[in-house]
């Protein structure tokens, strides 16, 4: 049995992965709140952004944490296609849950279905990412801990979607994001505690890419996407702000129209042709001889 190290770089990878989960959750919640205040194409676009943010944040959290995962007695490689597939699964399944909430008529049913779908998507991403592992030996799981990790994922996803439906304040969204980040991290490390590895020493070269060759550059790229999208969302006005701008502009337009009307009235009452202020024609004087 190989010795597993879940934090080969100390607290760096757990803290950084938690930060990625929080950023993805915060961005996803803010986009969902914006979506619920919009309609039509705008709502759809906000929901797509929310799904990509949550999915990207969860995936980045998982693989940043995996940078600190090591097994004594064997190297670790990652199957590139399966790793990319896990990212797509995270985005698509989380997107299905978010759209269920965004367009669902019955909010309670939409919340339950969306939370279940999103939670299963998070768990699927995690274990599909684990299937992408390549090492000298075999990986085994504790079924009870696997089930517990899935339950944590579903509860965390349902709580996050509930927050998106009911919490509007930025401070409350920030608190909900911290809680969701902790829940996602707990799901990940619960799933990792379920792992045991039977190492089979071998001198053969492992297929796949190392974490630094593939996982680290991709995680940096996705993390940059989250930061840039966060800045875009922060600078975009909300529906309430746009309504305030519109209502503030209307009185100004009305006052300008009133000034123009008054100016026109003054011109009409001035000394133009046919006005009352025109001088009377000169009277003629008759002289009798």
3-class SS of residue 72: coil
Give 232-257 pLDDT, tens digit per residue. 777 676 666 566 656 666 655 555 54
- The burial class, CB within 10 Å (0-12 / 13-18 / 19+), for 250 is exposed
Provide the residue count of the chain: 289
Helix axis angle, 40-66 relative to 216-235, nearest 10°?
Answer: 150
Closest to 134 (Cα-Cα) out of 187, 204, 216: 204
Average pLDDT over residues 43-63: 88
Q: Which two tokens stand for residue 243?
A: 């309504």
Upper half-sphere CA count for residue 157 (Cβ side, 13 Å) = 34
- Burial of 144: CB neighbours in 10 Å, binned 0-12, 13-18, 19+: exposed
Distance CA 96, CA 98 (A): 6
Nearest CA to 120 out of 85, 82, 146 is that of 146
pLDDT of residue 142: 94
Q: In 37-169, which ranges are continuous DSSP H helix?
A: 40-66, 80-103, 107-131, 143-166
Name the residue with higher pLDDT: 164 or 42. 42
DSSP string, 122-149: HHHHHHHHHHTEEESEEEEE-HHHHHHH
- What are the C-alpha distances in Å from 211 to residues 5, 65, 182, 261? 15, 11, 24, 72
Residue range 82-96: mean pLDDT, rounded: 87
Position 36 scores a pLDDT of: 79
* pLDDT reported for residue 268: 46
**What is each CA distance from 193 to 4, 6, 30, 79, in whole angstroms?**
9, 9, 32, 22
Q: For the chain, what percent of residues have pLDDT higher than 90?
A: 15
98 pLDDT band, cuts 50/70/90, is: confident
Question: Angle, nearest 10°, between helix axes 170-193 and 143-166?
Answer: 170
Mean pLDDT across the chain: 79
Q: Which helix (H) or strand (E) holds 265?
A: helix 239-268
Distance from CA of residue 129 to its chain's centroid? 21
Q: What is the model's pTM?
A: 0.75
pLDDT in tens, 151-185: 998 998 888 788 777 777 778 778 888 888 888 89
Cβ–Cβ under 8 Å, residues 214 and 83: yes
**Closest listed residue to residue 71, CA positions, set 136, 16, 129, 5:** 5
Is the per-residue pLDDT at 272 higher than 50?
no
In the predicted structure, residue 203 carries a pLDDT above the cut 60: yes
């Amino acid at each position: 049995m190989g010795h597993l190290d879940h934090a080969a770089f100390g607290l760096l990878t757990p803290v950084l992965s938690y930060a990625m989960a929080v950023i993805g959750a915060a961005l996803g919640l803010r986009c969902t709140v914006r979506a619920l205040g919009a309609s039509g194409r705008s709502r759809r676009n906000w929901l797509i952004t929310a799904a990509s943010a949550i999915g990207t944040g969860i995936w980045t959290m998982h693989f940043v944490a995996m940078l600190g995962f090591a097994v004594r007695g064997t190297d670790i490689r990652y199957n590139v296609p399966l790793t990319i597939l896990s990212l797509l699964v995270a985005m698509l399944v989380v997107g299905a849950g978010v759209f269920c909430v965004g367009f669902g008529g019955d909010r309670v049913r939409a919340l339950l279905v969306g939370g279940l779908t999103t939670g299963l998507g998070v768990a699927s991403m995690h274990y599909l990412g684990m299937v992408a592992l390549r090492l000298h030996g075999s990986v085994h799981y504790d079924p009870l801990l696997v089930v517990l990790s899935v339950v944590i994922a579903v509860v965390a996803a349902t709580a996050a979607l509930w927050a998106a439906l009911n919490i509007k304040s930025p401070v409350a969204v920030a608190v909900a994001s911290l809680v969701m980040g902790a829940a996602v991290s707990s799901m990940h490390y619960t799933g990792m505690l379920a792992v045991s590895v039977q190492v089979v020493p071998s001198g053969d070269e492992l297929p796949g890419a190392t974490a630094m060759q593939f996982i680290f550059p991709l995680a940096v790229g996705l993390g940059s996407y989250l930061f840039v999208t966060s800045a875009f969302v922060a600078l975009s006005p909300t529906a309430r702000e746009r309504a305030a701008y519109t209502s503030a502009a209307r009185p100004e337009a009305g006052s300008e129209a009133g000034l123009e009307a008054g100016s026109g009235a003054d011109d009409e009452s001035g000394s133009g042709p046919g006005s009352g202020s025109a001088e009377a024609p000169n009277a003629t004087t008759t002289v009798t001889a």
